[in-house]
């Protein structure tokens, strides 16, 4: 195993030999984490307990900064990256996992009042964020700090359907398809898939209105949209419990949803087309699919590092 693989026993032993003064702290933290895992029921409650323990010892340390100087430096690094990539004062910003505003304090000061939204799943770290707002005199900027219980964000409203560019003569039919798609996602899938399906339908309807001028059942078109969303996110790989035939059954269509779905993919100008699930943008991916991509990326990086 490559020496840079921090999870390997070889790396850990070598690190302990090079830094013997840190062994006791590592053992204490490992013991604490084990105790917290035994006394919490899920990952969120475990994370909150860890953050409560860390924040009690060090505000900076709770978010991974060993010193106040590094806390300032990393926050500035995040701020510079965002502003150099187009963030403007008049824009609104949502920072998921805002912590104690290591970078957020800079965003709050930079953005117009009320334009910063920060959320975290740790109550203790958000109390620290409130302290940072007061210490840096940012109250007049009216930042929004919100505690969430998970990252499903079910309390937020659905993304509105984008009717821009959709021809007037197909709006009624598209509205019928939209209602069917929403109902399918509510029953079989979830709000993430509903958002993805809405974006897919809006793109197809605006770019290829002829798809909705053809004679045919609106249920067939709705099944095609849901199939595209499922195919792109590996919904039908056997792990989710949802199959393409379940989509067909829900809409009571006899043909496979893939038939209309492939037509819609080509009509919408997606880069893959046909049975290729590539849609050309991560906005069409649900969280589970993104997580799997990241896991595959990390595994590949580890394999490359191990081979060096």
Q: Same domain, yes or no, for 184 and 277?
A: yes
Q: Same domain, yes or no, for 215 and 133?
A: no
Q: What count of residues does the chain have?
A: 308
Q: Same domain, yes or no, for 244 and 181?
A: yes
Domains: count for the chain = 3
**Three-class SS state of 59:** coil
Tell me, yes or no, whether 53 lies in a domain: yes
Q: Same domain, yes or no, for 180 and 224?
A: yes
Mean pLDDT split into 10-residue runs, the chain, 308 residues: 60 79 78 83 82 82 82 92 92 90 95 94 91 94 90 72 95 97 94 93 96 92 96 88 94 93 91 66 86 81 72
Tell me, yes or no, whether 113 lies in a domain: yes
Tell me, yes or no, whether 17 lies in a domain: yes
Tell me, yes or no, whether 197 lies in a domain: yes
Q: Which residues lie below 8 Å from residue 295, measured CB to CB, with a gap of 6+?
A: none
Q: Same domain, yes or no, for 196 and 273?
A: yes
Q: Token digits for 207?
A: 């770019």
Res 1: pLDDT = 41
Tell me, yes or no, whether 153 lies in a domain: no
Q: Same domain, yes or no, for 126 and 14?
A: no
Sheet (strand 93-96) strand order: 93-96, 116-120, 144-147
Tell me, yes or no, whether 74 lies in a domain: yes
- Lookup result for tokens 């991560």: 282
Res 277: pLDDT = 62
Res 27: pLDDT = 81
Host domain of residue 117? 68-147
Q: Same domain, yes or no, for 245 and 259?
A: yes
> What's the CATH code of the domain at 139?
3.40.50.150
Q: Same domain, yes or no, for 59 and 90?
A: no
Nearest to 138 by CA among 163, 160, 106, 170: 106
Res 21: pLDDT = 80
Q: Same domain, yes or no, for 172 and 286?
A: yes
Q: Tens digit of pLDDT for each residue in 93-119?
A: 999 889 899 999 999 999 999 999 999
Read off the pTM.
0.58
Distances, alpha carbon 280 to alpha carbons 184, 232, 283, in Å = 24, 10, 9
Tell me, yes or no, whether 296 lies in a domain: no
Last residue of a domain, one of 113, 147, 181: 147
Say if residue 240 is exposed, middle or buried (CB neighbours under 10 Å; 0-12, 13-18, 19+). Answer: middle
Q: Same domain, yes or no, for 94 and 187?
A: no
Q: Same domain, yes or no, for 104 and 27?
A: no
Q: Tens digit of pLDDT for each residue in 148-169?
A: 887 667 777 777 899 999 999 9
Tell me, yes or no, whether 188 lies in a domain: yes
């Amino acid at each position: 195993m490559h020496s840079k693989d921090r999870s390997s026993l070889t790396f850990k032993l070598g690190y302990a030999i090079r830094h013997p003064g840190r062994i006791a702290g590592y053992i204490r933290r490992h013991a604490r984490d084990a105790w917290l895992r035994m006394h919490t029921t899920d990952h969120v409650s475990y994370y909150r307990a860890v953050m409560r323990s860390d924040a009690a010892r060090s505000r900076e340390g709770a978010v991974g900064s060993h010193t106040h100087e590094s806390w300032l430096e990393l926050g500035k690094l995040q701020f510079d990256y965002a502003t150099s990539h187009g963030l403007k004062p008049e824009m609104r910003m949502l920072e998921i996992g805002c912590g104690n505003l290591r970078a957020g304090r800079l965003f709050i000061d930079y953005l117009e009042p009320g334009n910063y939204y920060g959320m975290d799943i740790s109550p203790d770290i958000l109390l620290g964020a409130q302290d940072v707002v007061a210490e840096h005199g940012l109250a007049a900027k009216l930042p929004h700090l919100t505690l969430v219980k998970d990252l499903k964000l079910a309390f937020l409203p659905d993304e509105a359907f984008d009717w821009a560019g959709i021809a007037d003569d197909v709006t009624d039919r598209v509205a019928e398809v939209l209602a069917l798609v929403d109902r399918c996602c509510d029953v079989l899938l979830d709000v993430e898939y509903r958002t993805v399906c809405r974006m897919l339908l809006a793109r197809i309807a605006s770019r290829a209105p002829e798809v909705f001028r053809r004679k045919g059942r609106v249920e067939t078109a709705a099944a095609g949209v849901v199939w595209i969303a499922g195919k792109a996110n590996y919904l039908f790989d056997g792990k989710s419990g949802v199959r393409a035939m379940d989509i067909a059954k829900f809409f009571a269509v006899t043909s496979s949803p893939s038939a209309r779905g492939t037509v819609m993919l080509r009509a919408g100008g997606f880069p893959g087309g046909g049975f290729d699930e590539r849609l050309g943008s991560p906005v069409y991916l649900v969280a589970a699919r993104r997580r799997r991509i990241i896991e595959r990326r990390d595994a590949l990086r580890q394999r490359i590092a191990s081979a060096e």
